[in-house]
Amino acid sequence: MKNVFAARNSGWLFWLVLILVSIAFLVANESSNQPESSINQTGAADGQIQDGAPPAPAISEAPKLISENAEPTSSLAIPFSRLYKTAAVNDILVDPRGFVWAATEQGLASIREDQLQTFSIEEGSFPFQQAECLAYDGKDLWVGTLTGLCVQNDSGRFVRSELSDSLPSQLVWSLIWDGTTIWAGTQNGAAFMKPGSGFQTINEANTNGGLRNNWCHKLARPGTWFVAAHDRGLSIWNINFPASNPELWKNIDHARSVISRPITDIAFDGTRIWLATGRGVLLLTTPVEKFFNDFTPNLVSYSRIHGLPANRVNALIAHRNSIWAGTDGGLVRIREDRIQLITASSGSAPERVRKLAASGDILWIGSDRGLQFINTAMVD
């Protein structure tokens, strides 16, 4: 009896030690995992050279090579929404229901009624490690990844599509829906698919060199034209004619033009094609309607010396009679040859914009850190 009382008297100490040890180990384990799981969500200093960072041994200062006139023509401050924190954004899509989808480096994210939901392989809600591009064909949401194509099934789950096997490569870099057909740009050629059928491949071989390179990392579908940005430049094909005739393809090679690699995005303003590149924005001056008879690859360049905040342009979209460009130095609007830097009057503007998407007046901005939006009506 005495032993039992003694045990009860010292028992609380035992339990306390047990709980403390368990908590200590759990905390230690969580903190050691933290940096890897939040690589892309580490706040404002993400990827920036910190002023106060200790220099590596034997470092000498490099001169800053910033042009004196490297200032935007003008800037405009408007409110930016709060940041919906996600991993680095690769693509954004707003579906007809108003749901915002983001393909990110850690899977998929969606915003419904201001609520952010993530889908990832860790949570078991997405089949792949990352998502690269998105397309909505009026019925299904398609997600291109670097490991295959997946689709949202009737129960709302994301599963690998059986059609993925008919793609020329499982590395899917770009997806677009033109109203009747889904187009995919992959590592080993482009492909197109009418609903209910498999993908048909377009590559260097079956176009007899019309498509100059198979790594189709960006696609666009202005009018009756199919535009593929690849490692050798730009290949353009009128889809009303056989792809196998190389004479019917228009090509602009990096080597023989001012287009620098990589072409990171393509936008169509209803008349002409705009290109985002590592060295600024390029406008192909020939209107798309004249491509067939009068194709001259003349380009107008917009870069830092013209007022862009950074040469690296990652995203481009035609919206409300303007071209919006997401750069490594922020968001800009190009209108009538004027470049306007969009800054934040409230909230914080993302520095490195990776993708843009528009829905009504709302312009969604995907960055290294997540999603934000602005109301473009306020800019006008």
Partner 1 sequence: MKLSEFVALFKTFFARLDIYQLLAVPVLLVVLFHSIDFSSNDMQIGVVLPLSGEHAHRAANHLNGLTLAARHINDLGGINGRRLQLQIRDTHGQSEKTAEATRDLIYENSVFALIGGFSPANTRIIQALAEKAQVPFITGICTHYETTASGNRFTFRSITDDRRQFEALVDYALKRFNSRKPALIYDLELYGPDSAQRFIEISNRSGQQVCAAVSYKKGTLNFRRQLDTIMAAAPDLLVILAPAADSAMILRQFREARFARPVIGGNQLAAGEFANLAGVYSESVVTTMPFNPRAGGQRADYFLSEYAETFGQPADADAAMGYEAMMLMALAFKASDLDRNSARNALASLHGWESVAGSGGFDEDGNQVRPAEIAIIKDRQKIPVTMEGLF
Question: For residues 249 and 291, is the Cβ–Cβ distance under 8 A?
Answer: no
Contact pick of 16, 18, 20, 378 for partner 1 (by CB under 8 A): 18
Kindly state the number of chain residues that form the binding site for partner 1, as judged by CB under 8 A: 70
Q: Using alpha carbons only, what angle is made at residue 267 by residues 264 and 270, rounded to the nearest 5 degrees?
A: 170
Q: Using alpha carbons only, what angle is made at residue 263 by residues 257 and 268, rounded to the nearest 5 degrees?
A: 95
187-206 positions binding partner 1, by CB under 8 A = 187-188
Question: For residues 303 and 336, is the Cβ–Cβ distance under 8 A?
Answer: no
By beta-carbon proximity to partner 1, the closer residue of 27 and 77 is 27
* Amino acid at residue number 190: A
Kind plus residue range of the DSSP H or E element containing 374: strand 370-375
By beta-carbon proximity to partner 1, the closer residue of 118 and 147 is 147
**Which region among 13-21, 77-85, 154-162, 315-323 touches partner 1 (by CB under 8 A)?**
13-21
Question: For residues 73 and 338, is the Cβ–Cβ distance under 8 A?
Answer: yes
Phi first, then psi, for residue 283 (nearest 5°) are -115, 125
Q: How many CB atoms lie within 10 A of CB 192?
A: 21
By beta-carbon proximity to partner 1, the closer residue of 137 and 204 is 204
Contact letters (x/-) for partner 1, 93-132, by CB under 8 A? ------------x-----------------------xx--
DSSP string, 227-242: EEEETTEEEEEETTS-
**Which region among 42-50, 92-100, 341-349, 369-377 touches partner 1 (by CB under 8 A)?**
42-50
How would you write 30-83 as a 3-class SS string? Answer: HHHHHHHHCHHHCCCCCCCCCCCCCCCCCCCCCCCCCCCCCCCCEEEEEECCCC
204-233 positions binding partner 1, by CB under 8 A = 214-215, 217, 231
By beta-carbon proximity to partner 1, the closer residue of 37 and 180 is 37
Our finding on whether 286 is near partner 1 (CB under 8 A) is no
By beta-carbon proximity to partner 1, the closer residue of 65 and 179 is 65
Contact letters (x/-) for partner 1, 250-279, by CB under 8 A? ---xxxx---xxx--------------xxx
**Centroid of chain to Cα 129:** 16
Q: Are strands 141-145 and 133-136 parallel, antiparallel or unpaired?
A: antiparallel
Contact pick of 1, 31, 52, 57 for partner 1 (by CB under 8 A): 57
The residues that touch partner 1, with contacts defined as CB under 8 A, are 3-4, 6-8, 10-11, 14-15, 18, 21-22, 25-26, 28-29, 32-33, 35-36, 39-40, 42, 46-50, 53-62, 64-65, 88, 90, 105, 129-130, 146-147, 169, 171, 187-188, 214-215, 217, 231, 253-256, 260-262, 277-279, 310-312, 328, 368
